Structure 1
Amino acid sequence: METKQGAVERAYRALKEMAASYKFKPDERLNESTLSVQLNISRTPLREALNRLIAEGFFTFRSGQGFYCRSLNPSEIMDLYEARAAIESEAARLAARRFDPAELAGLQRFLKESEAVYSPGVSPVELVRLDEEFHLRLAKLSGNAELVRLLENVAERIHYIRIIDLQSLSEREGVPAITIRPHVRILAAVKAGNEEGAAREMNAHISRRLEEVTQNVRMAFSRIYAP
């Protein structure tokens, strides 16, 4: 028999995939009754799952109205990507100066093991999860807890659009376009103690996506509202 926590986790994963595949339109109000029947789950674990996804930027809650799919605002997303580039570039710079060798070796192993996941048919949700873990672990090598907290906040707020971004990229250019090579270059600079090189590689990595994010938001809108 499924436990309450198991039901929450199942609903969380299902709703996340639904949001990532454009099952909900931006600013659309969610029908909890319909979702409860569709997912074969009671309202309490459904709401717990929805609240988890609010924290990750997939949905919002309006008092007295209910849960809504979040908006897609290109200007806000650009601001967040720019903030992310600044935070992560400084974190990479400090990581090159302060990294713990054992933690760096662990991150290198994680990156090598995750390479096999980058294959045809893999969910963009899973790719973003691996990518976020890499960036967060790298930020922790900086030894600066405030930078880590700032990155966690920004990552939560762009999580939804990053899934759209990766999905659009893989559809347009194929899975080989999604690669760990930029991460390998960043780690190499960190390991060499090259502070400027690590910051430069990180900034280039994030800025490449920044240049395409507005286009991908527009593509998402065209996909969502396609007849």
Structure 2
Amino acid sequence: MSTTGLPQGAVPKLERPGPLRDRVYEALLELITTRALQPGQHLVESELAGHLGVSRQPVREALQRLNADGWVDLRPAQGAFVHEPTEAEADQLLTVRTLLEAEAARLAATNASASAIAVLEEMCAEGERAVAADDVDAAVAINARLHAKIMELAGNTVLAELAAQVDRRVRWYYTPVARQRGRQSWIEHRDLIAAIADRDGQRATEVMRAHTEHTRKMYHDREKK
């Protein structure tokens, strides 16, 4: 499967300003993390350039950077392919995510104001509406925003920086199981927000740990089918 078969409307517009190679990199990374470009898919420079409305040179530079960052595999005499994560890679990444987010939940329970909790509750309601409408892309995006907000409320800059390094890969792994996680994921979010609102750091830690572990297990169960 080559890049010709991108879903209708999947290609993001290139934002200005900024170096063209950086904007192409961000556009391709978004297509990969949302799985508009699937793991193992052949990436043809000329086709990608056509989709993005640019020359082949910034696409080539972006693919080289994506290869260095582990998102794309460059194979001699074959070309570029979206990286196919191994089970070990996914397990390691999602385990680290559990550690970071459990600590963030504990700290958020200490630091969150009433107005911040109201923001979390509105995000959760948005996510529930997305699930009810079977809008997987929206549910994934809102899930990422909610987790990022909890990380922000933790108030730990180093923790936030570490979480940002794994955020996009978490989205990459979460997208295939988002529909299956469905409503249950948002029930868990409600429990988490309640623990934060109650200032119960231990409970928030436990709920977040269980929540992220459910996603990790479901991803692995899916890969084994």
Q: Same fold (TM over 0.5)?
A: yes
Look up the match of 1:12.
27
Q: CA RMSD of the aligned region, Å?
A: 3.6
Matched, 1:109 2:109: no
Paired AA for residue 48 in structure 2 = L
Instruction: Note if contact 2:195-2:204 (Cα within 8 Å) is conserved in structure 1.
Output: yes
State the aligned residue count.
204
Matched, 1:99 2:95: no
Give the CA deviation at 1:110. Answer: 2.4
TM-score, length of structure 1 as denominator length:
0.73
Q: Deviations over 1:68-121 (max 9, x none)?
A: 301221101101111111111111111111223322222222222332111344
Distance in 1, Cα, partners of 2:149 & 2:34: 26
Distance in 2, Cα, partners of 1:121 & 1:20: 17
Instruction: Tell me which of the two structures has the higher relative contact order, counting C-alpha pairs closer than 8 angstroms and 6 or more residues apart.
Output: 1
Which aligned pairs between 1:35-184 and structure 2 lie closer than 5 A? Answer: 35-37=48-50, 39=51, 41-43=53-55, 47=59, 54=66, 59-60=71-72, 62=74, 67-122=80-135, 124-167=136-179, 169=180, 175-176=182-183, 179-184=185-190
Distance in 1, Cα, partners of 2:58 & 2:121: 37
Paired AA for residue 31 in structure 2 = K
* Distance verdict in 2 for CA 1:185–1:83, change over 3 Å: same
Distance in 2, Cα, partners of 1:100 & 1:49: 44
Give the CA deviation at 1:49. Answer: 11
Structure 1: runs of 5+ lacking an equivalent: 220-227
Equivalent position SS for 1:42: coil
TM-score, length of structure 2 as denominator length:
0.73
Match of 1:191 among 177, 197, 206: 197
Give the CA deviation at 1:199. Answer: 0.4
* Distance verdict in 2 for CA 1:4–1:43, change over 3 Å: same
